[in-house]
Chain A
Amino acid sequence: MPVDVGPRAGPHPVPVTLTINGMRHDLTIEPRVTLLDALREYANLPGTKKGCDQGTCGACTVLVNGRRIDSCLTLAIMHTGARITTIEGLADGDRLHPMQAAFLEHDGFQCGYCTPGQILSAVALLAEKRPLDDASIREFMSGNICRCGAYKNIVDAVAAAGKQNV
């Protein structure tokens, strides 16, 4: 008797339902579509950025169930049922998330392209309860490249937001 192998999908486009920033998104995509491309090209949420598409630069960082991950290194279809947070979902209406406000105040960005990833990574860093000294922040923010070189200001922003949090 053949064993039931559970649901299978693809290779052609299939319905995939994602919960992004608390909203349900019904997409029709191939299984090979990364979470990053699903956000940018199918869900009209281009705030998440594509920098390297190989998990090195961190521009595509999103939160999945509160944890930071590289959305370019994971498939959208793997995250049905998960809670996905992107930069578009971080502020509470017009009220900025304290981390966003800290990045603005400390000028923690220049061109802005790595910024959504930096901010989400920093939000996760606080949730991970990392020590908030300079060395620790630098270490745990090193999955996000900022080519403009705003690192010092990023560290200042994370430290400031961290103090508020405590």
Chain B
Amino acid sequence: MPVKLKVNTYMDVAVVELREKALDASNSENFKKSMAETLANFQKVIIDLSRVEFIDSSGCGALLSCLRQLGDRKGWLRLCGVQKNVLRLFELVRMNRIIDIFPTKEDAVKNF
């Protein structure tokens, strides 16, 4: 299933809005593919998850993959707009300690 993304740039920061209700085993591989271009061209990437109601372990794995690709190129990944249910999963698998999470896009862009 193709994944709908919208990428905006603010100076050297790419903000990727994930326009999907879910990020799970059904679309996480496509999500990784869709992210490839942005990850190759930017060092500072923010993924806006405010439309995402559901993430599973595959979704977490895809986000960790983005983090690692950026890390390999001395870049940074930030998340924003994480819904409560999704945050609960991030806490369960300790993603909240590995990726910086901000309440809003503006907070994430600030001082990046």
A in complex with B: no
Residue positions of A touching B, CB distance < 8 A: none
Residue positions of B touching A, CB distance < 8 A: none
